[in-house]
């Protein structure tokens, strides 16, 4: 077990307004979310002394403009002018979960006391994946000429492989989309809050990249979420009940850049990240009371459930049936609605919900008697990070 388990906790959380596309600069969303998280903690801005983010712009073919299409650490420093800032970082390999983990490490190292982590996501007006190129360079020279453009097709081929090798049918995924949408009706910050989705809507929706239909894809939005992390001791003195971090892990495998269609890349990534998390926390999948698993595309949940060890390979679409992932089910899943319902804010929202469920602060959608709260914060293939939050330190 990890010597530092339950020494760091999530305190406040914050959300910006989520809009379909950019109406105001992204920096305004990030600022709103960060201010809300600090206020939720009962702290003032001058207490914040650590900053971490992963600012990447997933929309391709659009200019990276700090404050408008991304919000970097530099941008946040310029906006906040923190008098006591003592540490900051921007990460690359493991996405926003990696930024969160670095903040944990900084707190454990004692180089900051109150770290803010945020994720701000831009949705440009017009085409999201702008792919006008006449030429294909680098690894794309072997994929782009065949119409492999956005991430959708890259994920779709792995899903087809999963479906056909396990003799499964994509129609079963309707349960995930519909259940998550129902969950988001109890999350006022979600983009699809109070907009119903039926099984029939899912089954009759237009195909995007088979086996993915429209409702297998999260919707690009403009918005930001933020979280305050601090040491467990300090967290106990703050306003909200802390969610203690019991363990974390990151993906330890990477297949060659440009390699697509490989299901093993998802499974190896998820297994390596989750086994660290199980080992460090001392928990096992059977101990988990509630789970948030990244769902930028629906199939990521399938790979997550299987590679993290919640069910056997090839069985995830059966595992999610018969009420198991409902709020009162055996494994309540993506209780905030997931990216499919909140909009594409990447994995920090999954982390936030995991923390809220652990601290009993999830409001209307709170799962009963939660102690162990699991989070898989991104697609396990390239950016996989996993976390366990607990209500009671041990």
Partner 1 sequence: MSDWSKVARPIPVPNEWTKPFWDSAKQGVLSLQRCQACRRFQHPPYPTCVNCMAIDLAFEPVSGKGAIYTYTIMYHAGDKRFAAAVPYASIIVELDDAPGALMAANLLDAPYTEAKVGRRVEVTFERLNDDITLPQFRLEGFGVRQSRGAMSEESA
Residues found near partner 1 in the complex (CB under 8 A): 127-129, 131-150, 152-153, 156-158, 160-161, 164-165, 206-212, 255-263
> For residues 267 and 259, what is the distance between their CA atoms, to the nearest angstrom?
15
Q: Among residues 19, 14, 83, which one has the least CA distance to residue 42?
A: 14
> For residues 338 and 304, what is the distance between their CA atoms, to the nearest angstrom?
13
**Phi/psi of residue 224, each to 5°?**
-150, 150
Q: How far is the CB of 153 from partner 1 (least distance, A)?
A: 5
> For residues 289 and 132, what is the distance between their CA atoms, to the nearest angstrom?
46
Cβ proximity to partner 1: between 151 and 347 the closer is: 151
Distances (CA, A) of 240 to 22, 229, 309, 379: 32, 12, 32, 30
**Which residue is listed with tokens 């996405």?**
95
Cβ proximity to partner 1: between 54 and 128 the closer is: 128
Q: How far is the CB of 82 from partner 1 (least distance, A)?
A: 41
- Two structure tokens written together for 91: 């990460």
Q: How far is the CB of 213 from partner 1 (least distance, A)?
A: 9
Cβ proximity to partner 1: between 44 and 132 the closer is: 132
Q: How far is the CB of 262 from partner 1 (least distance, A)?
A: 6
Q: How far is the CB of 37 from partner 1 (least distance, A)?
A: 35
Cβ proximity to partner 1: between 109 and 256 the closer is: 256
Distances (CA, A) of 65 to 7, 186, 226: 37, 34, 20
> For residues 229 and 245, what is the distance between their CA atoms, to the nearest angstrom?
10
Cβ proximity to partner 1: between 148 and 278 the closer is: 148
Q: Among residues 368, 248, 312, 289, which one has the least CA distance to residue 5?
A: 248
Cβ proximity to partner 1: between 124 and 347 the closer is: 124
The residues, any chain, with a CB within 8 Å of residue 152's CB and separated by 6 or more, are 208, 209, 212, 217, 297
Q: In degrees, to the nearest 5, what angle opens at C-alpha 9 toward C-alphas 243 and 298?
A: 60
Q: How far is the CB of 169 from partner 1 (least distance, A)?
A: 14
Cβ proximity to partner 1: between 142 and 394 the closer is: 142
Q: How far is the CB of 154 from partner 1 (least distance, A)?
A: 9
């Amino acid at each position: 077990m990890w010597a530092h388990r339950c020494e760091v906790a999530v305190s406040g959380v914050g959300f910006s307004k989520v809009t379909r596309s950019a109406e105001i600069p992204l920096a305004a969303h990030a600022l709103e979310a960060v201010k809300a998280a600090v206020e939720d903690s009962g702290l003032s801005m001058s207490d914040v002394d650590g900053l971490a983010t992963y600012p990447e712009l997933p929309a391709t073919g659009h200019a990276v403009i700090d404050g408008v299409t991304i919000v970097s650490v530099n941008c946040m420093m310029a906006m906040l002018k923190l008098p006591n800032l003592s540490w900051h970082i921007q990460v690359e390999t493991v996405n926003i979960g990696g930024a969160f983990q670095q903040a944990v490490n900084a707190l454990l190292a004692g180089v900051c006391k109150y770290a803010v982590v945020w994720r701000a996501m831009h949705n440009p007006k017009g085409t999201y994946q702008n792919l006008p190129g006449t030429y294909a360079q680098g690894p794309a020279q072997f994929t782009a000429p065949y119409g492999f453009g956005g991430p959708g097709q890259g994920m779709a081929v792995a899903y087809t492989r999963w479906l056909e090798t396990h003799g499964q049918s994509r129609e079963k995924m309707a349960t995930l989309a519909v259940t998550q949408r129902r969950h988001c009706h109890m999350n006022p910050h979600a983009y699809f809050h109070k907009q119903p989705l039926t099984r029939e809507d899912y089954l009759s929706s237009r195909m995007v990249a088979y086996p993915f239909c429209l409702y297998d894809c999260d919707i690009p939005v403009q918005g930001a979420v933020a979280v305050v992390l601090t040491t467990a001791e300090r967290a106990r003195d703050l306003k909200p009940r802390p969610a203690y971090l019991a363990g974390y892990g990151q993906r330890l495998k990477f297949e060659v850049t440009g390699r697509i269609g490989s299901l093993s890349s998802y499974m190896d990534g998820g297994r390596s990240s989750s086994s660290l998390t199980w080992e460090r926390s001392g928990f096992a999948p059977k101990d988990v009371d509630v789970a948030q698993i990244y769902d930028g595309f629906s199939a990521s949940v399938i790979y997550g459930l299987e590679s993290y060890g919640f069910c056997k390979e090839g069985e995830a679409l059966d595992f999610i049936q018969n009420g198991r992932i409902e709020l009162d089910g055996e494994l309540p899943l993506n209780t905030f609605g997931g990216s499919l319902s909140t909009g594409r804010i990447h994995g920090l929202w999954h982390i936030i919900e995991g923390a809220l469920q652990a601290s009993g602060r999830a409001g209307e959608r709170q799962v009963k008697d939660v102690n162990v709260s699991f989070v898989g914060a991104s697609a396990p293939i390239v950016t996989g990070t996993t976390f366990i939050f607990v209500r009671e330190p041990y």
